[in-house]
């Protein structure tokens, strides 16, 4: 399987704390994307980072990419209860998804 791994599988934090989740992949990539899924609904795109970029920011989101280690991380700063969701990385031209991290933010 080309499916990558995300770490941790589940994360529980208090509102206001930062949340970090990691994605490792197996193939060479052109870009890597992060998505959020609320309660089994359709996924929503968060951010895209290209293989020649090392870091990218979007609001409270910070994504890093290390192609030598085949890994990426997503940092959500100052988390809110509304951030409670599952987060997935996706990569390659075929858009292969990792297994996801379930984030719970407690009020």
**From 20, 22, 24, 31, residue interacting with other proteins (rule: CB under 8 A):** 31
The answer to whether residues 71 and 89 touch, using CB atoms and an 8 Å cutoff, is no
Closest CB to other proteins among 52 and 107?
52
Give the CA angle between residues 1, 32, 14 to the nearest 5°: 95
CA distance 88 to 50: 16
* 11 in contact with other proteins (CB under 8 A): no
**From 14, 18, 27, 30, residue interacting with other proteins (rule: CB under 8 A):** 30
Q: Hunting for tokens 């030598």 — which residue is that? A: 68
Tokens representing 44 are 């929503």
* 81 in contact with other proteins (CB under 8 A): no
Q: What is the DSSP letter of 54?
A: S
Closest CB to other proteins among 3 and 14?
3
CA distance 91 to 48: 10
* Binding residues for other proteins, total number by CB under 8 A: 26
Q: Which stretch binds other proteins (CB under 8 A): 13-21, 59-67, 70-78, 85-93?
A: 85-93
Which residues sit at the interface with other proteins, rule CB under 8 A? 1-3, 6, 30-31, 33, 35, 40-45, 48, 88, 90, 92-100
């Amino acid at each position: 399987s080309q499916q990558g791994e995300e770490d941790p599988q589940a994360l529980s934090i208090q509102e206001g704390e930062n949340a970090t989740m990691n994605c490792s992949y197996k193939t060479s990539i052109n870009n890597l994307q992060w998505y959020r899924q609320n309660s089994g609904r359709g996924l929503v795109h968060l951010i895209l980072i290209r293989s020649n970029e090392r870091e990218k920011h979007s609001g409270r989101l910070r994504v890093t990419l290390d192609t030598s280690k085949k890994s990426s991380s997503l940092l959500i700063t100052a988390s809110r209860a509304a951030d409670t969701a599952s987060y997935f990385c996706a990569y390659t031209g075929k858009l292969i998804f990792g297994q996801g991290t379930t984030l719970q933010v407690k009020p």
